[in-house]
Amino acid sequence: MSSVCVLRCNMVVSRLLGAGGLGLGSGQISGFSARFHNHLGWSVWGLRDITHTHTAHTHSGGVCVTEREVRVRFAPSPTGFLHLGGLRTALYNFLFARQHGGRFILRLEDTDRSRLVPGAALDIEHTLQWAGITPDESDSRGGVYGPYVQSQRLSLYSAAAVSLIESGHAYYCFCTNHRLELLKTEALRRGQTPRYDNRCRHLHADQVQENLAQGKPHAVRFRLHMKAEPFEDLVFGWTGHAVGEVEGDPVILKNDGFPTYHLANVVDDAHMHVSHVLRGAEWLTSTCKHLQLYRALHMTPPTYAHLPLLLNPDGSKLSKRQGDIYISHFRQQGALPEALLDLITNCGSGFHSNRVGRNLKELISEFDISKIVTHSAVLDLKKLPEFNRVHLQQRIEDERQCRLLVDEVKNLLTLTYTDQIQEEKVLDHNYILRVLHMRKRHISSVRDLLSPMYSYLWLRPSVSRQQLEEMSSESHDIISRIMQVIKGCNGEYTPEFLTGELKLIAKKLRKTKYSSVMKLLRLALTGQQQGPSVGEIMVSLGEEEVCCRLQKSLEA
């Protein structure tokens, strides 16, 4: 290119690097100049690094990974908190990386400055950590290809834009917002899809130089080819979109000095040596554009796998723009991370079969990218309590995890009942442990144990003798007999034993049926008319506490 072009490019670079101190010196971006100018080998679009071989029984279930180290990235924009759709895309990247001994990278794409949400970046990283899918490289963990936040990588994008302008693949666009709006309105009036008319493509070099010298605001646009190079997507198969025929040249660098998604993700994926891009299917049609950018930049593109989207029941995409329910909300409600991961994989695809109760280790070994289907899936949140119940039971049955649950219940109890708790023993580790084991098939969250239905576990009910008499005139006799049974049970204090004994007592009564005996006992022990079986209630409370409550009911 001519010296004019070099001059223009330098102007852009200095403007961009100087803009509000947002750009960094290239020294802050590891190995930038060396890698950027060292054209990475062009391996037939780089798409043969992963191939479908349906006969091979490989770890990944029919997909052979060869040559390059597997490096995948989850690249959300911190324009909102993480939702379940984003979590599933992150998870599939994580599963793929773990299956192939690769690296899982978290990159924050914060170039849309107008939509940044304070706290979102931290929320995303913390949520991934909470879910057990901790990135190997990220802003907080670091890594050799950092920084992992796009606003700290501006010099890379401006240099790429410069290189594209120099090679004639990009050009300055001086069109005003007003003109672009008019183009849009006119297209809509004619019933056409709005598109840029590529006017600035044809500006004479002198005109461009004059505009730049006058400091006219400008963006940089990429010159799209008419020809559509098809590519093989791991989910959608061979795909091609004649982007140049249907779209105007896209902006790659905005006039605020920030790149658009198209340039930034291409440059970063290449510089971070990303081998596979697993991202939402909404990017499928943009991929031909991205491949044109790779070609123009002489960079090796990754292999693509576009993932079907998770949808709301009304068919819309789960998206931060709609303020969909964030993961932090489910977390606050007591959802377990493994239950959420299990739910979002169950309502999608990527596995030979679906079943409830898969943990992360099993998800890694059973994930099969060749099983991902192209159609989107509706998220069925009504199933979450059942998924949570199954996973909570698994935690309760695991000694180490159950210890943590006991502590959680203890904290919740202290917070909920503060000074109402009369008996310190309800905060005892073994007492809570017993309650958890007794209720593990019935509760979806440990928070359920704090609901009024379970208050009897922590607080003594106040039941009057009169209430019991109203249920049965034999109530005194019944309660005395039961206390006798408890005293003589010699360690055989199980729900089954107690139920058998209660039946025997009922048989000896003249006026009270077995069912009424149960109702009477439930009321005396819990102050409630419904709840778990009486045998279970008695075992949960323990012999001493049951006797104490029964005795009190006789005296009340």
Interacting residue ranges for ligand ATP, rule: CB under 6 A: 76-77, 79-80, 85-86, 88-89, 279-280, 282-283, 307, 309-310, 317-321
Closest separation in Å from C-beta 66 to ligand ATP: 25
Contact in structure between 114 and 79 (CB atoms under 8 Å) = no
Q: Which is nearer to ligand ATP, 251 or 520 (CB)?
A: 251
Closest separation in Å from C-beta 348 to ligand ATP: 8
330: tokens are 């489910």
The DSSP result for 280-301, as a single string, is EGGGGGGHHHHHHHHHHHT---
Closest separation in Å from C-beta 280 to ligand ATP: 2
Closest separation in Å from C-beta 401 to ligand ATP: 29
Closest separation in Å from C-beta 93 to ligand ATP: 9
Residue 294 to residue 277: CA distance in whole angstroms: 14
Q: How many residues does the chain have?
A: 556
Q: Which is nearer to ligand ATP, 274 or 523 (CB)?
A: 274
**Among 7, 467, 72, 489, residue whose Cα is nearest residue 268:** 72
Residue 209 to residue 521: CA distance in whole angstroms: 92
Q: Which is nearer to ligand ATP, 225 or 317 (CB)?
A: 317
Residue 258 to residue 16: CA distance in whole angstroms: 8
Closest separation in Å from C-beta 241 to ligand ATP: 17
**Residues 40-44: contacts with CB under 8 Å, at least 24 apart:** 40/270, 40/298, 40/299, 40/300, 41/300, 42/298, 42/300, 43/300
Residue 202 to residue 208: CA distance in whole angstroms: 10
Residue 228 to residue 137: CA distance in whole angstroms: 34
Closest separation in Å from C-beta 311 to ligand ATP: 7
How many CB atoms are located within 10 Å of the residue 433 CB?
A: 17
Phi, psi of 15 (to 5 degrees): -65, -45
Phi, psi of 276 (to 5 degrees): -135, 130
Q: Which is nearer to ligand ATP, 32 or 157 (CB)?
A: 157
Q: Which is nearer to ligand ATP, 87 or 160 (CB)?
A: 87
Per DSSP, the three-state class of 237 is strand
Q: Which is nearer to ligand ATP, 111 or 300 (CB)?
A: 111
Contact in structure between 97 and 90 (CB atoms under 8 Å) = no
Furthest CA-CA distance within the chain? 111
Contact in structure between 148 and 107 (CB atoms under 8 Å) = yes
Q: Which is nearer to ligand ATP, 293 or 307 (CB)?
A: 307
Q: Which is nearer to ligand ATP, 129 or 211 (CB)?
A: 129
Detail the DSSP E strand segments found in 274-357: 276-280, 303-307, 310-311
How many CB atoms are located within 10 Å of the residue 252 CB?
A: 25
Closest separation in Å from C-beta 89 to ligand ATP: 4
Q: Which is nearer to ligand ATP, 76 or 301 (CB)?
A: 76
Closest separation in Å from C-beta 119 to ligand ATP: 15
Contact in structure between 274 and 72 (CB atoms under 8 Å) = yes
Closest separation in Å from C-beta 115 to ligand ATP: 7
Residue 305 to residue 539: CA distance in whole angstroms: 54
Q: Which is nearer to ligand ATP, 76 or 102 (CB)?
A: 76
Closest separation in Å from C-beta 84 to ligand ATP: 8
Q: Which is nearer to ligand ATP, 307 or 505 (CB)?
A: 307
CA torsion through residues 455, 460, 462, 467, sign: positive
Residue 325 to residue 319: CA distance in whole angstroms: 9
Q: Which is nearer to ligand ATP, 126 or 298 (CB)?
A: 126
Closest separation in Å from C-beta 357 to ligand ATP: 23
Closest separation in Å from C-beta 279 to ligand ATP: 3
**Among 464, 458, 540, 465, residue whose Cα is nearest residue 498:** 540
Q: For strands 310-311 and 377-378, give the pairing.
A: parallel
Closest separation in Å from C-beta 229 to ligand ATP: 22
Q: Which is nearer to ligand ATP, 244 or 350 (CB)?
A: 350
Q: Give the contacts of 515 (CB within 8 A, at least 6 positions apart).
A: none
Q: Which is nearer to ligand ATP, 110 or 338 (CB)?
A: 110
